[in-house]
Amino acid sequence: MGAGVLADRVGIVTGASAGIGRAIAADLVSHGARVVVNARRAERLLEVVEQLDKGRTEPAAAMSMGDASDQGTIDSMFDAAVNTFKTEPDLVVINAGRGLAGSVATSDDGEWEELVRTNVLGAARLARTTARRMLAQIEEGDATGWQKRPRDIVVIGSIVGRHVSPFSSMYGATKFAVHGMTEGLRRELAPKGIRVTLIEPGFVVSEFQGVAGYKDDWFKGVVDRIGPVLEPVDVARAVSFVCSQPAHVHIGDIVVRPTRQDYP
């Protein structure tokens, strides 16, 4: 995939201050896209924007700080794109989320509501807002207009949203919900020429494990058994790949595992 293949594309990436989201934003920009990055940590976001703009005469990135599950923050992402790049986004990556160690029986139930709010309700709100705004850009009566400008909604799911994992079944349950929502949205928007893609990573080394509460020795054991595990850039390449396809080509679902990961 050559540089510039995503030229003229304008995107939004949530959860972009670190890990997978940051890698996705960087890879999109490396292929010519301009992006609005979102996260809660202002200092980290500023660092991301500075990195993405480095050496460029025109801005490649803008920031929208805040909770990605909040409707006001979601609206501000789109406003930032229009104000900075003078166009509505045509590429939205729903990445913000969090994990939770443990099963239905063992996980901290005090974390459940936040888990569902962030992973499911937040993703749904951003997906709905994106769908409505993209549909508003499609001209009535223009049956082939969608072929002139690809439009992508990319949802970062998880392999545990496909295969039940007993060591993180509450987190996995939220991803099962997101996967179902994503497929429903795909079926709804496909006739309009809007592509909805689900990407399901296996084990990726990032800040995710610490935030989720996984024990260091447990994760080290996983890495020792199946490593090397994925890096965030491995997921980012998949996002850029699906978004770089011609408008009439849709890659709807990608599972990305470390080569030696047998389960889940």
Nearest-CA neighbor of 235 among 197, 180, 183?
197
Q: Where are the alpha helices (DSSP H) in 31-70?
A: 42-53
- Look at strands 34-39 and 10-13 and give their pairing: parallel
DSSP state, residue 195: E
**3-state DSSP assignment of residue 137:** helix
Question: What phi, psi does 164 have (nearest 5°)?
Answer: -60, 130
Nearest-CA neighbor of 94 among 63, 70, 119?
119
List 85, 171, 176, 208, catalytic entry = 171
Beta strands in the chain (DSSP E): 10-13, 34-39, 61-65, 91-94, 152-156, 195-201, 253-256
Nearest-CA neighbor of 119 among 167, 155, 164, 89?
155
- 159, 201 contact by CB (below 8 A): yes
Nearest-CA neighbor of 19 among 124, 74, 92, 99?
99
Is 171 labeled as catalytic in the residue annotation? yes
- 35, 13 contact by CB (below 8 A): yes
* Cβ atoms within 10 Å, residue 213: 15
Task: Tell me the catalytic residues.
Answer: 171
